[in-house]
Structure 1
Amino acid sequence: MLPVFRRRPRYSIGSKLTLIIGAVFGLYLLSVTVIGYVMYSQYRGFSTLASSHFDRAMTAAELTRDAETIAAEVFEMLVSSERSINAGNRRAENLASIYQATRQRLDAVDASDVVDDQTRAELDRWQQPFFSSLERLDTRLAAEQSLQAAHLNRIDELFLLLQQLPPVATTASLPAADQRFVGHALAALSYAAAALSAERPGQIARLHGACQQQLQQLAALSLVSKDFIELRKRLNRTLPSIFTSRRPLLQHGRATLATARQTRVLAQKLTSTTFNYHLQLKAAAQQAITVHQRMIRRSLFGLLLASLALITITVGAVVYIRRAIVLRINRLSAAMHAHQQGHDGPIPCEGHDEISLMGSTFAVFVEARRQAEQQLEQANLHLQQMNAELHRLSEIDELTRIANRRRFDQHMASVWRRALREQSPLGLIMADIDFFKRFNDEYGHQAGDECLYRVAQALAGELHREGDMVARYGGEEFILLLPGLSLAQTEKLARRLLRAVRSLQIPNDQAEGHMVTISLGGASVVPTTHDRIESLVSRADQALYAAKSRGRNRFCSAVADDQNVMVGGTT
């Protein structure tokens, strides 16, 4: 019975796949939206950090750096041995300008309440005194630079005076007064030179007194050389001014150092206040960064949950599609392929969707094909049986149920070729029922048919070897094909055939002994290429004719010289 077609499923695979794909895609869009919102929030947070907190903190750090740089410049001016001739004051002025510009920019960006008013007040408190002290320091450095320039001029004058004195090696040739002049002049110049580098007023006073003594001794000398006289005048004019100019320079230097120390202290206070300002802005920026990091962690955690949910749903969808669709389609495809190859197997039909419907439909076709094949097989078998029956009927005599003439001719040709190939003897017996026409006339055709049948079966019953055959040759004549039998063996078989027919005890008043008998004619030959089947049949037929001529109910055989010899008779 063929399977019944199922109705179309209510929830199809297309609907399920559409629902799954829509759910996954919707979750994907939701995840993308959440990620976009989180990224936008991060962007806003970073913009706030960069535009407000970070910018203020960096500006405050820059302000602190400027204050520290100014303090370092002041310290450099304090420890420098030639501070009046360097450009420290101009650098400090430039840095002060940079500091003021940075402070103004910081005030412009710092519009929040992150820094308290006390810190701003401290910054304003030390800023103005610091720059005022820096201006005073700049003024004193300018004045000190003028004094240093005059001091250097005096050093140059001392050097010129020293060059006007003769070398020490040549003083031995000079008069005694000139020699003493050179000695006192060198001593006065050395005292003046020492005064140029003296740092204490007492030391300058002692050097001044020693220089005056040397000048007095020079004044007491009676000089002859006009050069020495002129040089003495210059020494008296120049050397005293060196001592008088050295004291103001030292006093001005101490005042400059005091101003520089005061500027340095103010710079340190300003730096400390600026650094506190920077620390507060840094703490505010750090707090904003901490808040932003917390928000980032929450965002990342949310994104992780969304990703896990998306992965779980995607994996679940893949597993469901694989189990509910792919594997079932693969099983159905494997079953179809197996049936296509001719192997029977179960067809998956479970479920309530298109796949189960396809399986049920394929099962219907498979069952229909199986039934058709069974019917075709039965029809082929019946046809084969009919063909076999037709073939048998075409080779069996319908009346006697033994081989007919056609079958005999086919078998005779095959046996002849075999005997020719193997050079084995081939025996042949022709049989004829004695007085059969008279039997028919007296007992009727039905009795005649019965007689033919019983005689044929009696003849067939005496053949026990494979290859032996008895056939109805025509009318009441029969022919026996006996492969492998010589003429003597054929004669022995003929006697058995005669007795078998007589033992039937079929009444026949027309025959001798009032029983149905047969006459036999036999021949045997080892075939050669020159022999013919017809000649063997002809010789057996001539022997049969001889048996009938000699009184019937006997066997005659054909010898090699084609003479017929009777070897049997009635019993």
Structure 2
Amino acid sequence: MNIEILKQAVMDSRDGITISDNSLDDNPLIFVNPAFERMTGYSAEEITNINCRYLQGNDREQPELDIVHNAISQGEYCLVTLRNYRKDGAMFWNELSISPIHDETGAVTNFIGIQKDVTSRVLIQQQLRDEHQSLEQMKMHFEQLSIKDGLTGIYNRRFFDTQLEIQCKIACRNGDSLTLAMIDVDHFKSFNDLYGHPAGDKALIRIADSLSHTFQRGSDFAARYGGEEFVILSNGMTHDQAKLYVESLCQRVRDLKIPHCASTSGYLTISIGFSVQTFGPLQPSSALVAQADKALYRAKQRGRDQFFQFLDV
């Protein structure tokens, strides 16, 4: 093949092409094509004669990097997708393939790297997976979704509404029960008035953290329903187990001992209404919310700092 044609193909390629020198310590790049410069924002002068790990910055906790390192040490081909960062700090998904070049003795002298910006493809794949994943899988991707409450860090109302529908369908299919606990922080308006909104925010954060550390099942979760209201959804509990569980929630918040001089106990407390239901195919998920809400109303009516079950209403 004409060497000029080959050179032109490399220089005009839409994919980034790099060559590293395996005979030198740290396997530095000795060539990058213009597409690689455009992809990364770095000029050839800035990035040749050094190892390309600068593309990951401080984001080194990527298992794929171990695959690359092992391939280089073994003189083998590999294909991975990495989180890389342009010169301006913008992250992009980089599909990297490296192939060894051998000399006449069989020794690996260089590696050729082909780099593709596959950000759009990865984002689409993530979106498709998120639409079909179970609750546990969705938790793994929550940083890519807007499902967390900005103040407390637990799940938000949007996530709860979506997962309630999903979990009701799963419970109906499997014949499991679902327990929904609706939780209200007692006398929270007066707490804000007395201690200020920053103190109120800190109190909500502590309560949310306490509630979110009470789960025994991977599918259980807590969410901020709005304002000073929280919800907890759990599957597989009996009525007796649910009673013991919500009683422990009340005690956990008491144990935080967040001072509130306008409260009877002298501390912030919570009221809980809960319902335990086994779902039929025609039963809407909204029924569980309505039941727990009615029970919460009765708990507050009866003096707060307590729980109430829908079946007892």
With normalisation by structure 2, the TM-score equals 0.59
Q: What is the aligned counterpart of 1:408 among 151, 160, 163? A: 160
> What is the CA distance between 1:487 and its match in structure 2?
2.3
> What is the CA distance between 1:379 and its match in structure 2?
11
C-alpha distance in structure 2 between counterparts of 1:378 and 1:473, whole Å: 34
Matched, 1:427 2:182: no
Structure label with greater radius of gyration: 1
Q: Give 1:410's aligned amino acid.
A: T
Q: Give 1:553's aligned amino acid.
A: D
Whether contact under 8 Å (1:426, 1:486) holds in the other structure is no
Residues 343 and 462 of structure 1, relative CA distance in 2, 3 Å threshold: closer
Q: What is the aligned counterpart of 2:101 among 343, 346, 357? A: 346
SS of residue matched to 2:294: helix
Q: What is the aligned counterpart of 2:292 among 540, 544, 562? A: 540
C-alpha distance in structure 2 between counterparts of 1:495 and 1:406, whole Å: 27
Q: Give 1:345's aligned amino acid.
A: P
Matched, 1:2 2:30: yes
**Which residue number in structure 1 is paired with residue 52 of structure 2?**
none
1:277-316 aligned within 5 A: none
C-alpha distance in structure 2 between counterparts of 1:477 and 1:468, whole Å: 17
C-alpha distance in structure 2 between counterparts of 1:494 and 1:438, whole Å: 24
Q: What is the aligned counterpart of 2:271 among 508, 516, 519? A: 519
1:391-406 aligned within 5 A: 391-392=144-145, 394-406=146-158
Residues 346 and 482 of structure 1, relative CA distance in 2, 3 Å threshold: same
> What is the CA distance between 1:418 and its match in structure 2?
1.2
Encode CA deviations 1:347-386: one digit per residue, 9 max, x unaligned: 5599xxxxxxxxx9xx8xx74x54x45xx4799999999x
Whether contact under 8 Å (1:419, 1:425) holds in the other structure is yes
**Which residue number in structure 2 is paired with residue 454 of structure 1?**
206
SS of residue matched to 2:234: strand
1:99-178 aligned within 5 A: none
Instruction: List runs of 5+ in structure 2 lacking aligned partners.
Output: 1-28, 33-76, 79-96, 127-139
SS of residue matched to 1:524: strand
**Which residue number in structure 2 is paired with residue 477 of structure 1?**
229
C-alpha distance in structure 2 between counterparts of 1:540 and 1:483, whole Å: 15
C-alpha distance in structure 2 between counterparts of 1:511 and 1:343, whole Å: 66
> What is the CA distance between 1:388 and its match in structure 2?
4.9
The size of the alignment, in residue pairs, is 208
Q: What is the aligned counterpart of 1:493 among 245, 259, 264? A: 245
C-alpha distance in structure 2 between counterparts of 1:468 and 1:449, whole Å: 24
C-alpha distance in structure 2 between counterparts of 1:346 and 1:391, whole Å: 38
SS of residue matched to 1:553: coil
**Which residue number in structure 1 is paired with residue 193 of structure 2?**
441
Q: Give 1:540's aligned amino acid.
A: A
C-alpha distance in structure 1 between counterparts of 2:292 and 2:272, whole Å: 9
SS of residue matched to 2:247: helix
> What is the CA distance between 1:530 and its match in structure 2?
2.6
Residues 435 and 378 of structure 1, relative CA distance in 2, 3 Å threshold: same
Whether contact under 8 Å (2:184, 2:272) holds in the other structure is yes
SS of residue matched to 1:397: coil
C-alpha distance in structure 1 between counterparts of 2:161 and 2:195, whole Å: 32
Q: Give 2:237's aligned amino acid.
A: L
SS of residue matched to 1:464: coil
**Which residue number in structure 1 is paired with residue 25 of structure 2?**
none
Q: Give 1:2's aligned amino acid.
A: I
Q: Give 2:100's aligned amino acid.
A: G
Whether contact under 8 Å (2:142, 2:148) holds in the other structure is no
Query: Considering only aligned residues, what root-mean-square deviation do their CA atoms show, in Å?
Result: 3.4
C-alpha distance in structure 1 between counterparts of 2:299 and 2:270, whole Å: 10
Whether contact under 8 Å (2:225, 2:231) holds in the other structure is yes
**Which residue number in structure 1 is paired with residue 216 of structure 2?**
464
> What is the CA distance between 1:486 and its match in structure 2?
2.4
SS of residue matched to 1:455: helix
Q: Give 2:203's aligned amino acid.
A: C
SS of residue matched to 2:252: helix
Encode CA deviations 1:146-177: one digit per residue, 9 max, x unaligned: xxxxxxxxxxxxxxxxxxxxxxxxxxxxxxxx
1:201-240 aligned within 5 A: none
Encode CA deviations 1:460-490: one digit per residue, 9 max, x unaligned: 1221222111100010000110101122221
Q: Give 2:152's aligned amino acid.
A: T
Residues 440 and 384 of structure 1, relative CA distance in 2, 3 Å threshold: farther
SS of residue matched to 2:215: coil
C-alpha distance in structure 2 between counterparts of 1:520 and 1:417, whole Å: 25
C-alpha distance in structure 2 between counterparts of 1:383 and 1:515, whole Å: 48
Residues 479 and 3 of structure 1, relative CA distance in 2, 3 Å threshold: closer
C-alpha distance in structure 2 between counterparts of 1:508 and 1:451, whole Å: 11
C-alpha distance in structure 2 between counterparts of 1:516 and 1:434, whole Å: 7
1:76-91 aligned within 5 A: none
SS of residue matched to 1:509: coil
> What is the CA distance between 1:3 and its match in structure 2?
4.6
- Give the fraction of aligned pairs with identical amino acids, expressed as a percent: 34
C-alpha distance in structure 1 between counterparts of 2:124 and 2:288, whole Å: 39
